[in-house]
Chains A and B, each alone.
Chain A
Amino acid sequence: MPFNRIVWKMVKADFRKYLFYFSCNTLAVALFFLYASIFYNADVDREKQFESINYTLAVPGIALIVFIVFFVSQAHQLFIKRRKAEFGLFRTLGMTNRDVSRLLVLENLFVGILSIVAGLLAGVLFSRMFFYLMSKILGIEAVSFGLNSQMFSATIYAYAAVFTVAVCTSLYQILKKNLVDSLKSDRTAEHIALQSPLLGWIGVTVLAGSIIGLYVTYTGPNGGDYLILWTIFAFCGLYFCLSQFSDVVLQAIKRDEKLFYKHILSVSSLDYKFRQLTSTLMLITVMIMITVLYGTMILYTYQDAAQKVEDDHPYDLAFLEADGNNPQELLQEVLGNEVQTHDRLPVFTFAQQDPIAGWMNTYHLVSVEEYSRLTGDSVQLEDDEYVHHINQQLSDPLENYDFTITFPDIEGIEPYQLAETITEQDFNQLGSEFILVNQQEYDELKGKRKGIEGTLHYVNLNDWESSYDPITNLERSFDLTNKGNPSPIDGVRHEQLFHLSSKMEASVINEQTNGISFFVTAFLSVLFLIGSFVILYLNLFSGIEKEKRKFEHLHRIGLTTPEMKKAITTELIPIFFIPSITGITVALLFIIAISTDIGGILQNPEVITYFLIIALLYQSIQLVFYLYARKRMVTELM
C-alpha cells in the first residue's frame, strides 16, 4: 500500500480528531480574514491618514495576532498530543524519522490547505454578515463592505507563517523525544506550573501597583508613554494572580473541610483545570479587558465628539454676508421651506494684530442692543466701555488665560474700559471673537477703521439631518465664491471670513473619523468575544472523553443526575466568569486611572455609564455562551 494511502486511511479512521483540528484552523483563517477585511477596507484605508484610526487598529490588531498564534499552536498541540503515542508506535515498528516527518507534513499540508479554502469562504461570509449587522445595529454607514486581493493574500501569508512555525515545532519535538516518552504521552499529566501562594500575592501587588502607578503618572508629562509600561506590568501581575489562583483560593477552600467536602468534585477539578488552563484564562482575561477598555474609550470619544458638535453649533448653519457675496438668496434657493428660524446680527468685522503671537485676529464689532436681542442677555454699556465676548466654553477658570487686547487700536483714541469678558458659546464658530459696544459707539467706530460691514446669519432648519444635499450644495457655492476672490481684509484669507459653519458638516467629519474607529472597535470586540469563547470551549471539550469516563465511574458508585449537573455547573461558572469579571474589573481600574486626563472619573460620570453598558453587554453574551456550553457539557457527559 503506498504511503499516501496509509495517510488517507488514517485521516478517514480518525475523522473526529482531524475535524476538530481542521475546525480550529478554519476558524483561525476566518479570524485573520475578518481582521484583514477591516484593515484593508477601502473606507478605513482612506482614514489611515488620521492617527486615531491607526491607533485603534494597531493595539487590537497586535492582540488578535497574539491570540491567533496562541490559538493555532494550542490546537496543534492538542492534536499532536493525541498523535504522539501513534507516532511512537510507528517508530517502534521501524518507521524512520523521514517517514514520520513525511506523514506529519503530508497530513498537515492537507489540513492546512483545506482550512485556508474553508476559512476564506467562511471569512467572506462572516465579514459580509458582520458589516451588515454592524451598520444595522450601530447605524454607522461610514464603512461599507468590500473585498480586495490584499485581504486574501495577507490572510494566507499570516496564517501560513503561524501554521508553519507550529508544525515545525511539533516535528522537532516528536523527533527529539525518546520512544518511551512518545508511547506514554497519552497518559502523562499536563505540565503543572510552579505553585506558590507567595507568587500569587506578588502578582496582586504588582497588578495593584501598576494601576496606582498609571493613576499617578498618567496626567504628568509623557503620561501616555508610561501607559504601555504600566500595562505590561499589570499583565505580568495578572498572570501570576491567575496562575496562583488555585493555590491561594482553592487551597483556602480546602482548609475549610466542611465547605470543601460540599463542593469536593468541582473544587478538585477546578484546581486541576486552573493549573492546566492558566495561559488560556490569561489570554481571555486580557482580551476581555482590552475589549471593554477600548470599547468604553472609543464610545466615549465618539459620543463626546457628537456632543461637541452640538455644543459648537448652537445654530444649524451660520455664515457671514458682506457686499459682493449674497448667500441669502442662495440660502432661499437651496433650502427654501426647510428654514425654521433665521436670525441676523449686523456686524462690523475687522482684523487686529495679536500682541503676543503676532498674527491677525478677526473681531466682529456688534452693538450691545443687537446682541441682547439675539441672546436674550441684558447688557448695559456706557460710552468708552466694551465687552469682550470669547465665543467658547472654557475648561479652566478665566484667570488662567490671557485675552488682553487693546480696543480700539486706533491712533488718537484712548483705549476703552473693559466692562466684562463673557466666555460662552452662543454662536457657531466662524473664527472670530466679538466686541460689544453700545449702538452710538458702534456707529462711530465703524467709520474710523478698516473693516467690512456685513451681517452674520444664524439659521435653524426643520431637520438638519435630512438636509444633507442642500447643505452640501450651499457649501459648494461658498467654496466657488471663495475661489480666487481677493480678501477684503489684509492678512486674512477670503475663505477664513466667508465660510459656512454647519452642524451637518461637523457631524459628517465626526462620523467619518470617530465613527469608523467606533465601528472598527465594535467589530474587533465581537471578534474577540467569539474568539475567547471558542478557545475556552475547545479547551473544555478537548478533554471531554476523560471527563465522560470520570462521570461514568461516579455514576456507577451512585452519583445522581442532579448531583452531576451541580458538579458541572459549579465547575463551569468560575471558568467562564472569573476571566470576564477579572478582565472587566481591571478595565474599570484602567479607565479610572486614564480618566484623570479628562478631569477624573467623578467629573465624567458618562464614562462610567458607557463602561457599564459595554461590561453588561459583554457579561450578558458571556452568560449566553456559558449556558450553551453547560447544556452541551451536560448532554455530552450524561
Chain B
Amino acid sequence: MHLQESITMPEESMPERDLKSVKETVIAGDDPIGKALRRLHDDVVAEPIPEEFLRLLGEIERKLNGAATPE
C-alpha cells in the first residue's frame, strides 16, 4: 500500500513527535474517516462522567481513607 511506501525512516527510533508527522491518511486532518473517528472520540470525552463511575471512585476513596488493603 502507498502507506508503507511513504515511510522511509526507521519508525522505532523516531521520537513520538516525528511519528505523528508521518504522512498517514487516517490521521490527516482532512480524511473523512479520521474526522469521524475523532468526533466519535470527542463526543464521548465531552460527556459528563456517569454516576456509577463516581460510586466506584467513592469505593476507592474509602479504601484510601480506611485501612490499607492487603496486596
- Asked whether A and B interact, the reply is no
Binding site for B on A (CB under 8 A): none
